Structure 1
Amino acid sequence: MDVAQHVEDRSPRGIAAAVSRLVRSGDLRPGDRLPTVRRLAADLGVSPATVSGAWQALAAVGLVASRGRAGTVVLPEPASWLPPRYRDLAAGGRSDAGEERVAPAAAGAPSARPSAPLAPTRRPGPALDLSAGTPDPALLPPLGRALARVAAATPAAGTGSYLGAPVVEPLERLLRASWPFTPQRVTVVDGAVDAMSRTLEQLAGFGDRVVVEDPSFPPIFDLCDQLGLERVPVPLDRQGLRPDALAAALRTGAEVVVLQPRAHNPTGVSMTSTRARELAAVVRKHLAATPGAGLTIVEDDHSGEIASSADVSLGSHLPDRVVHVRSYSKSHGPDLRIAAVGGPAAVLDRVVARRMLGPGWTSRLLQHVLADLLDDGEALAAVAQARRTYYARQRALTTALAERGVEVQPGDGINLWVPVADEATALVRLAAAGIRVAPGRPFRAGEVADGAVGPGHVRVTVGALAGGPDEVTRAATALALAAGA
């Protein structure tokens, strides 16, 4: 098909819209190859960068994908309601239909990589699923006593006013007492991703630049794409975000920085207090050189109370510039759907006001349940035991990998970032061993072509290694074999 003749507006947005219409109408079908960037640019009389921008916009919403030498192709209509990178993260090595993607070449021959999408083949589910990034259900505190106490104190699911405070007093008191700095406002929302979404909506507009870690949690990238934000990737070292790279990123004009202060997903890195001071110094220097800059740091403390590292925050140095998010999903249960947010009133008041035009508030019944759990000795002991158990599982797997020649720096939280010689081959080998892990590609802030061959990573949820030493040995052996060239 001659795509150029259907393009009326030759801007990146116009080109993307024209291709989207062709896909929706059925003129372009799943698997059809789009013209190359240079060819379409020549046909339209525009720069290759203009066409490349259109292709990136289409890829961000899941309409097309780069297949390396096979070109850019139209994707099937997704069977999933998940955003693109969230979908990649959830799928691991499986398609939306629950089918394993298996290379036609032998798993032991990484050089024989197909250039086209892998053909789906029915396979049974993995015997050991280390891909999900979710807490071990057996390590969550029991809810029975808290539910009974809250039900006895609040027999009806009512509320005094639709315009009442968004946080119940017992929970706000506990949150403020445990916060790493003194926030002007504290509120609660429906999970950490909800908190990040609500905050970014208030801080950045279409086309704004946002500093993100590379690698980082894929839904953060999906959020940026949905809001039309330009990501400015910054690498990490073993102490957190690199100060020199942050300084360079801020010079691009970015006014929002998104970082994970501890138990970084996927690497497990935690920011040290020294690094926090260094980053704060970078921010102060940037603000002094840029009068009127509206820089805000958004911290995603997603692992919360199961993290073994100290609760270090840039808010200790820049309280009026930091929005700190703490999730209780991994420590107390994902289905509680509660994350706390604390920071400047100028930001938090807008977040609360916007929620009043949507959900209004997070269930006050669930807030009372969480408050009870945060003040109950049995629940506190359960969370402390979970924290120790996750720490032990991290160390057990990294030790077993080292014994098999794979050196991985142990981190904090429930995930481990394992380097592999070839990512696609590693996923196939692990699937053949009955082990499922998360591919590393969705965690990269830059665009990585589907099917790309070469060094990469896989993310392993060590928190799911509940089967004892034998299970750790099995996982380490399979990972070591998969990591090799």
Structure 2
Amino acid sequence: METEAALLTTITRAVTLRTAAALTRAVADLISTGGIPPHARLPTIRAVSDSLGMSRSAVGQAWRELQAQGLVESKRRGGTTVIGQPTPPHAKRYESMIRASITMPVDLGNLWCGDMPPIDLSRAFDYAVRHPDVGNQFAQQITPELRDAVSPDWPFHTESFLATHGAIDALEMSLAALVRPGDRVAVAVPTIARVFDILESLSATPVPIPWEEAGPSLKDLRRALIGKPAAFVYQPNRSLPNGRSVTQEWMAEAAEVLNGTIPVLEMDQTWPLGGGSSSLGSRLPEQVLHTRSFNFAFGADMRQAVVGGNSRLTDVLWNRLSYSSRYVSRIMQLAQAYLLTDPDTLAALRAWDTEIHRRYRTFAEALRRRGHEVEEASPPLIWLRVPDEHSVCTRLSTRGIVVHPGSFFRPGARWEQRISVNAAARGTGLEELADEIAAACDPRLAGGA
């Protein structure tokens, strides 16, 4: 076991910047690589402060962050001790969603099309497997066909595109390339639950930027930038789960706030639903990566997305893909390109969009008639205010209905009580489902928790 003096020397040599985040990263890296063994007692805050020339509050902040990451534990008399290498990360929110949904007859919690008629994929794959380029041994960042299919209506001009296995795949790769343990990441909230699972796996801390009427709070974003986050993650169009989109006024002001600062990671999870296609990429071309996902329309087994934006950032992602077999096959890319350009498929998507909006309006009106406040927003999810999200989810689950609590979509516990309801999953029985939700929100009708 290293002496405290030797351990202090090891830590001092590993720290390149005298900041709490840099100290956190350095010690986390030493623990994960075995440079600091399990059960070792870390030097005192005073000793590290004196050795590095840092304030004691900054060192204490780093020690608290290491404890939050599960790498160390602090005892009043025993000092701060290394627990050991962290256990493999789990996508806790995603796993909870699966457990809550897998046996339920009515799934109103997850982002899917439910009983909507599926888009025909057969002709797309027939085209793809017969394409002369299939079988080429060298991977491509994106096929010419898919590039030509997405570029005409991309929200800003760019020459740099990359095909990925869905928006979550793109986000995970982007954050893994940009974020180090202990970093902060600004996140517009509420947002998709997987964002927080990814950040936890990277030992990064989300800095919540609450949504307001026009977009994520620029006051909170300015405050977050003071702490030098590694990136800003948000959904400009039809944000999930609240269904809001940013205004043009917000875009102009946000561009001024973010100009020359950090990478901006944009996600569009619900293409091709109507409601605009805004992006900061036209104003901040050197900072923005925009991801458009296609699997909401075409299904989970057609899980693809295209990332477009700054060439330096897309090249970083491509380099990560090219070291593995994780790149998207030509067959999948060619089939996707066919679906995005085939007239019959485009007509089916327009009808699909119309039906999604009809279901959403019908469900929202049914809930309003039962006394619920449903904001004017875009489908498919309704971000519903409830008395107690845990109780409502529990009561609905006893009736065979799954919805997800608002806590999945925001970090911490200081938020108002909400549930996320997929209003597009069912085409019929919406009045009865609204009755069930109303009953679950009323303890007198539900018989208590």
TM-score, with structure 2 as normaliser: 0.78
Is 2:156 aligned against 1:186? no
Residue 392 of structure 1 is aligned with which of 348, 351, 358?
A: 358
Is 2:98 aligned against 1:129? no
Describe the shift of the 1:139–1:279 C-alpha distance in structure 2 as closer, same or farther (beyond 3 A): farther
How far apart are the structure 2 equivalents of 1:242 and 1:475? 34
Describe the shift of the 1:184–1:325 C-alpha distance in structure 2 as closer, same or farther (beyond 3 A): same
Q: Secondary structure at the match of 1:478?
A: helix
Is the CA contact 1:391–1:413 (under 8 Å) kept in the aligned structure 2? yes
Task: Tell me which residue corresponds to 2:286.
Answer: 320
Gaps of 5+ in 2: 1-6, 9-22, 32-56, 72-86, 444-449
Task: Tell me which residue corresponds to 1:478.
Answer: 436
Describe the shift of the 1:186–1:455 C-alpha distance in structure 2 as closer, same or farther (beyond 3 A): closer
Q: Number of residues paired by the alignment?
A: 390
Q: CA deviation at 1:334?
A: 2.0
How far apart are the structure 1 equivalents of 2:267 and 2:437? 29
2:349 maps to amino acid: V
How far apart are the structure 2 equivalents of 1:346 and 1:48? 36
Describe the shift of the 1:253–1:320 C-alpha distance in structure 2 as closer, same or farther (beyond 3 A): same
1:246 maps to amino acid: L
Q: CA deviation at 1:48?
A: 9.3
1:57 maps to amino acid: Q
- 1:105-184 matches, cutoff 5 A: 125-136=103-114, 138-154=116-132, 158-162=134-138, 164-184=139-159
How far apart are the structure 2 equivalents of 1:136 and 1:434? 15
Is 2:357 aligned against 1:381? no
1:231 maps to amino acid: P
How far apart are the structure 1 equivalents of 2:381 and 2:121? 25
How far apart are the structure 1 equivalents of 2:436 and 2:110? 18
Deviation per CA, 1:155-187, whole angstroms, max 9, x where unpaired?
xx943342x532111111121112100124111
1:377 maps to amino acid: P
Q: CA deviation at 1:127?
A: 3.4
Is the CA contact 2:187–2:208 (under 8 Å) kept in the aligned structure 1? yes
Q: Secondary structure at the match of 1:160?
A: coil
- 1:37-76 matches, cutoff 5 A: 53=65, 56-58=68-70
Is 2:337 aligned against 1:371? yes
How far apart are the structure 1 equivalents of 2:62 and 2:177? 29
Deviation per CA, 1:237-266, whole angstroms, max 9, x where unpaired?
233212222111112212410001112111
Q: CA deviation at 1:395?
A: 1.2
How far apart are the structure 2 equivalents of 1:152 and 1:12? 53
2:430 maps to amino acid: V
Is 2:405 aligned against 1:439? yes
How far apart are the structure 2 equivalents of 1:370 and 1:137? 22
1:182 maps to amino acid: H
Q: Secondary structure at the match of 1:359?
A: coil
Deviation per CA, 1:3-45, whole angstroms, max 9, x where unpaired?
xxxxx99x99999x99xxxxxxxxxxxxxxxxxxxxxxxxxxx
Q: Secondary structure at the match of 2:140?
A: coil
Describe the shift of the 1:50–1:167 C-alpha distance in structure 2 as closer, same or farther (beyond 3 A): closer
Task: Tell me which residue corresponds to 1:239.
Answer: 214
Deviation per CA, 1:322-366, whole angstroms, max 9, x where unpaired?
100000101222212211000111111111111000125211011
Is the CA contact 2:90–2:197 (under 8 Å) kept in the aligned structure 1? no
2:97 maps to amino acid: L
Task: Tell me which residue corresponds to 1:459.
Answer: 420
Task: Tell me which residue corresponds to 1:299.
Answer: 266
Describe the shift of the 1:252–1:330 C-alpha distance in structure 2 as closer, same or farther (beyond 3 A): same
Task: Tell me which residue corresponds to 1:86.
Answer: 94
Is 2:250 aligned against 1:279? no
Is the CA contact 2:141–2:161 (under 8 Å) kept in the aligned structure 1? no
How far apart are the structure 2 equivalents of 1:223 and 1:83? 7
Deviation per CA, 1:49-97, whole angstroms, max 9, x where unpaired?
7886455324xx9xxxxxxxxxxxxxxxx9x9951121223333x7xxx
Describe the shift of the 1:51–1:360 C-alpha distance in structure 2 as closer, same or farther (beyond 3 A): closer
1:474 maps to amino acid: E
Describe the shift of the 1:49–1:251 C-alpha distance in structure 2 as closer, same or farther (beyond 3 A): closer
Task: Tell me which residue corresponds to 1:405.
Answer: 371
Task: Tell me which residue corresponds to 2:34.
Answer: none
Is the CA contact 2:90–2:201 (under 8 Å) kept in the aligned structure 1? no
- Identity across matched positions, percent: 27
Q: Secondary structure at the match of 2:341?
A: coil
Describe the shift of the 1:433–1:360 C-alpha distance in structure 2 as closer, same or farther (beyond 3 A): closer
Is the CA contact 2:89–2:201 (under 8 Å) kept in the aligned structure 1? no
Describe the shift of the 1:186–1:398 C-alpha distance in structure 2 as closer, same or farther (beyond 3 A): same
How far apart are the structure 1 equivalents of 2:232 and 2:281? 13
Task: Tell me which residue corresponds to 2:224.
Answer: 249
How far apart are the structure 2 equivalents of 1:193 and 1:413? 20
How far apart are the structure 1 equivalents of 2:145 and 2:113? 26
Is 2:382 aligned against 1:416? yes
1:178 maps to amino acid: D
2:287 maps to amino acid: R
How far apart are the structure 2 equivalents of 1:245 and 1:144? 47
